């Protein structure tokens, strides 16, 4: 049976001590005590059956065995560091993690995001896709755009944008709810059946979000019942047009929460609220 490898912490303590030729400096670098570094190096020496350092009054000196081991350990640690960095987004300073639905990211954030980045050149963003309130327990974001009822979204969240639902279709297409296929988002409490003006047909296309319904309307598929918050931008840009002036309040809506006190997160939350 192959013998188990010594713990990685022993090799890290050895490598840091060898570079600094000091247990004290290695301890400061790794955030450990000097005695812990010394003990881990001693354990490694006992495991390998060799002496790696000569302990001198004013520091350390590598033995021949220590000099032979150091290059291999150094390369291994460098390889682990490089592998880890491939999964990291970089320094966390001025990094704002934003948890939001794809709908808000596409229709509210994306069209004006270049302006925010231009005004805040030191801020970096990470967008995390979420839909329902329980998704946010896993996101651990700085800024969250939550969707649901007031009871669902939890404390610390403020209403974000309009709570009203409107009907839209592609600009240039007929605006007739009797002839256009009706597009409806599922999983929400208000739909075409609750529309104040009676519609003569049942929805023919069902999607999982207001944003997807809006996207189908932009593509000319039919008339979408969607969030006014999402539709305001496409209406202003001419991608869709509103069908009549009828609107109705949605039971669920979008809420904005800023969970961080960092200036970068506060700046993005304020910018986003101003967008609505």
Inter-residue contact 248 to 237 (CB < 8 Å): no
Clarify whether residues 183 and 110 are in a common domain: no
**Residue 208 forms part of a structural domain:** yes
Which of 107, 108, 101 shows the shortest CA–CA distance to 139? 101
**Residue 3 forms part of a structural domain:** no
* pLDDT for 2: 59
Clarify whether residues 149 and 185 are in a common domain: no
86 has a pLDDT exceeding 70? no
Clarify whether residues 23 and 64 are in a common domain: yes
CATH of the domain at 133: 3.40.190.10
Lowest model confidence (mean pLDDT) among 112-126, 141-155, 182-196: 141-155
With bands split at pLDDT 50, 70 and 90, how would you rate the model's confidence at 190? confident
Beta bridge partner(s), residue 62: 53
Last residue of a domain, one of 85, 104, 122: 85
CATH of the domain at 42: 1.10.10.10
Clarify whether residues 172 and 228 are in a common domain: yes
**Residue 2 forms part of a structural domain:** no
Clarify whether residues 132 and 268 are in a common domain: yes
Clarify whether residues 224 and 120 are in a common domain: no
Number of domains in the chain: 3
Clarify whether residues 99 and 154 are in a common domain: yes
67 has a pLDDT exceeding 90? yes
Identify the burial level of 178 via C-beta atoms within 10 angstroms of its C-beta, where 0-12 means exposed, 13-18 middle and 19 or more buried.
exposed
* Token output for 253: 């809506």
Indicate the DSSP class of residue 207. E
Query: What number of other Cβ atoms are within 10 A of residue 271's Cβ?
Result: 18
Clarify whether residues 119 and 145 are in a common domain: yes
Which of 274, 188, 259, 254 shows the shortest CA–CA distance to 225? 188
**Residue 212 forms part of a structural domain:** yes
**Residue 186 forms part of a structural domain:** yes
Clarify whether residues 99 and 138 are in a common domain: yes
Clarify whether residues 112 and 239 are in a common domain: no
Inter-residue contact 29 to 77 (CB < 8 Å): no
**Residue 24 forms part of a structural domain:** yes
Digit-coded pLDDT (tens) for 97-137: 998 888 999 999 999 999 999 999 999 998 887 754 444 44
Last residue of a domain, one of 27, 60, 85: 85
**pLDDT: is 156 or 61 the higher one?**
61
Digit-coded pLDDT (tens) for 4-58: 888 898 999 999 999 989 998 888 877 778 888 999 999 999 999 999 999 988 8
**Residue 75 forms part of a structural domain:** yes
Clarify whether residues 20 and 63 are in a common domain: yes
What range defines the domain where residue 40 resides? 8-85
Clarify whether residues 19 and 126 are in a common domain: no
**Residue 109 forms part of a structural domain:** yes
């Amino acid at each position: 049976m192959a013998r188990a490898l010594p713990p990685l912490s022993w090799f890290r303590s050895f490598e840091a001590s060898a570079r600094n030729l000091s247990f004290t400096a290695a301890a400061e670098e790794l955030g450990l005590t000097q005695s812990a570094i010394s003990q881990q190096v001693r354990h490694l020496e006992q495991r390998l059956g060799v002496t790696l350092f000569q302990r001198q009054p004013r520091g350390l000196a590598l033995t021949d065995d220590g000099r032979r081991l150091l290059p291999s350990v150094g390369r291994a640690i460098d390889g682990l560091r490089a592998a880890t960095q491939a999964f990291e987004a970089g320094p966390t300073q001025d990094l704002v993690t934003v948890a939001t639905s794809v709908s808000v990211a596409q229709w509210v954030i994306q069209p004006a995001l270049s302006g925010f980045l231009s005004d805040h050149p030191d801020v970096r963003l990470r967008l995390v896709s979420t839909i329902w309130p329980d998704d946010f327990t896993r996101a651990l974001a700085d800024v969250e755009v939550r969707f649901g009822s007031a009871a669902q979204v939890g404390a610390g969240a403020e209403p974000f944008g309009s709570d009203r639902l409107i009907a839209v279709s592609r600009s240039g297409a007929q605006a007739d709810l009797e002839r256009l296929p009706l597009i409806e988002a599922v999983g929400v409490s208000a739909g075409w059946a609750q529309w104040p003006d009676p519609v003569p047909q049942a929805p023919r296309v069902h999607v999982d979000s207001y944003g997807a319904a809006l996207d189908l309307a932009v593509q000319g598929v039919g008339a979408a019942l969607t969030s006014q918050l999402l539709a305001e931008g496409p209406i202003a840009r001419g991608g869709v047009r509103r069908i009549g002036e009828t609107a109705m309040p949605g039971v669920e809506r979008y809420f904005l929460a800023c969970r961080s006190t960092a200036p970068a997160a506060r700046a993005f939350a304020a910018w986003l609220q101003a967008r609505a």
